[in-house]
Structure 1
């Protein structure tokens, strides 16, 4: 399993920013027009559009023009690689902590 693939790096880069994470959280409830997504943030629309571009470039969201508005939606399957990596790391750390617990329990018995 590749741990340093470009899509994974791009996804974590995109999710490293609190504005982009907030957008992802909002889109988890359903698609929305850019104007609605931008409303909670105190920034100019071109600056906000840069955040959307980062999310779209890495494939986490997609957008389409509908009439005079641009609508965004999540691409849930694009989160799969990040979820897989995080779950693998969680299992690895849990196993290491279990080994540490066994070692400390044995040491306590040996020292006791």
Structure 2
């Protein structure tokens, strides 16, 4: 998933229902009907949200008989995590630049654990 695709993934996760679906899919694969039974939205709405999540690269689906089962797309989730890791490294570097030189962590000092 490219950076612009990861950006689309962040956009689609701005919806509360989609986040609820992703949270459930993190547990295990779910069929559309199962998700609709668990969520306070209609089956057609669940299907629409899943289509949006799939187009953003966050979920995959597979047909099992008459059911379509959805699961998280590991590559899509990994792309989001990679972006978060990048943001975190940049933020830490920025905060370190704000520390006075005598407060900078040295490479010989052991890191403090919390």
Please classify the TM superposition score into its range, dividing by the shorter chain length.
0.7 to 0.9
Aligned length: 102
2: CA distance, partners of 1:35 / 1:70: 9
Structure 2 unmatched runs, 5+: 104-114
- 1:1-112 alignment runs, 5 A limit: 5-102=3-100
Structure 1 unmatched runs, 5+: 106-112
RMSD, matched Cα = 2.1
Deviation readout 1:52-89 (Å, 9 max, x if unpaired): 11111112111122222221111112222221121111
Structure number having the greater helix percentage: 1
Query: Which consecutive aligned stretches of 4+ in structure 1 deviate over 3 angstroms post-superposition?
Result: none
